[in-house]
């Protein structure tokens, strides 16, 4: 009898993706039938677009969550007992969960926590480091969007935007926290994923520089700096 040669990870990935696509198709087709059953009004179009976007956001969250979890083994005996990071040794401790903000909305991410062998040092989540999830517990794409939005908007406006557009109802992070996470993973500044182009801003204007005065970092990404200069010229 022929045996399957599909790797377990690939098989699991196919099952998850298949379920997500099936649920997405069912949900979208249901909303389309509901829309086509009534008269074409602006209110109906508004509701349709809103519901279709919600369906795609839900599918995006499910796909990201599954993809992230496949990057690290769930079984303790399969996880690395020790890791080295920034000339420090970390030992495997326990698996913890965190809420990660994405452009599709929040997801739950389980990952292994490693404790430093030297007392007083913070713990390490290698999976978070690899995925570029840093300050603010946000993915690199969302961190970039927040950093750019902070150039021309206040923290209150950015938080309202996060709640409205990305479903992040508990977003209490300072804008500078997201900017700090983005500067560590800006793909345009450094192809290796670690930003090498940081400098102190010459002028303190509105937007993101205002966040830094309240206790945030005083260095920024070249990409965000360029956007800030462009906004200043428009004003």
**What is d(CA 202, CA 198) in angstroms, rounded to the nearest whole number?**
12
Average pLDDT, the chain: 75
Question: Is 228:201 a contact under the CB 8 Å cutoff?
Answer: yes
Structural tokens at position 189? 């500044």
Q: Is the overall model pTM greater than 0.75, yes or no?
A: no
* % residues pLDDT > 70 (the chain): 64
**What is d(CA 188, CA 223) in angstroms, rounded to the nearest whole number?**
7
Cα atoms in the Cβ-side hemisphere of radius 13 Å centred on 8 = 2
Number of residues that this document lists for the chain? 235
Residue with the bigger pLDDT between 184 and 125: it is 125
DSSP tag of 122: P
Structural tokens at position 234? 């428009």
Lowest-pLDDT range, 34-43, 74-83, 216-225? 216-225
**What is d(CA 137, CA 173) in angstroms, rounded to the nearest whole number?**
9
| Among 20, 11, 26, 185, CA closest to 107 | 20
User: pLDDT tens across 157-213, in order?
Assistant: 888 878 887 777 654 454 555 555 545 555 555 444 333 333 334 444 443 333 333
Residue with the bigger pLDDT between 104 and 190: it is 104
**What is d(CA 132, CA 114) in angstroms, rounded to the nearest whole number?**
17
93 CB neighbour count, 10 Å cutoff: 12
Question: Is 202:196 a contact under the CB 8 Å cutoff?
Answer: no
| Among 133, 146, 227, CA closest to 185 | 133
User: pLDDT tens across 148-166, in order?
Assistant: 888 888 888 888 878 887 7
| Among 33, 58, 62, CA closest to 48 | 33
Residue with the bigger pLDDT between 155 and 16: it is 155
**What is d(CA 193, CA 97) in angstroms, rounded to the nearest whole number?**
24
Q: Which long-range contacts (CB under 8 A, 24 or more apart) does 168-172 make?
A: 168/101, 168/105, 168/106, 170/99, 170/106, 171/101
Give the residue extent of every domain in the chain: 9-69, 76-131, 140-234
């Amino acid at each position: 009898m022929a045996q399957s040669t599909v790797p377990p990870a690939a098989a699991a990935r196919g099952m998850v993706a298949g379920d997500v696509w099936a649920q997405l198709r069912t949900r979208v087709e249901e909303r389309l039938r509901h829309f086509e059953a009534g008269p074409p009004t602006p209110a109906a179009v508004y509701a349709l677009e809103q519901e279709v976007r919600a369906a795609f956001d839900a599918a995006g969250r499910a796909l990201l969550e599954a993809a992230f979890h496949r990057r690290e083994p769930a079984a303790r005996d399969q996880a690395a007992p020790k890791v080295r990071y920034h000339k420090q040794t970390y030992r495997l401790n326990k698996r913890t969960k965190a809420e990660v903000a994405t452009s599709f909305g929040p997801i739950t991410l389980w990952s292994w926590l490693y404790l430093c062998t030297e007392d007083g040092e913070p713990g390490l989540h290698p999976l978070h480091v690899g995925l570029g999830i840093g300050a603010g517990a946000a993915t690199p794409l969302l961190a970039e969007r927040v950093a750019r939005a902070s150039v021309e908007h206040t923290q209150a406006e950015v938080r309202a935007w996060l709640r409205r557009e990305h479903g992040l109802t508990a977003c209490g992070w300072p804008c500078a926290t997201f900017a700090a996470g983005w500067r560590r993973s800006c793909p345009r500044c450094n192809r290796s994923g670690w930003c090498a182009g940081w400098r102190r801003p010459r002028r303190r204007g509105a937007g993101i520089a205002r966040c830094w005065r309240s206790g945030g970092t005083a260095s920024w990404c070249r990409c965000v700096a360029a956007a800030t200069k462009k906004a200043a010229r428009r004003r």
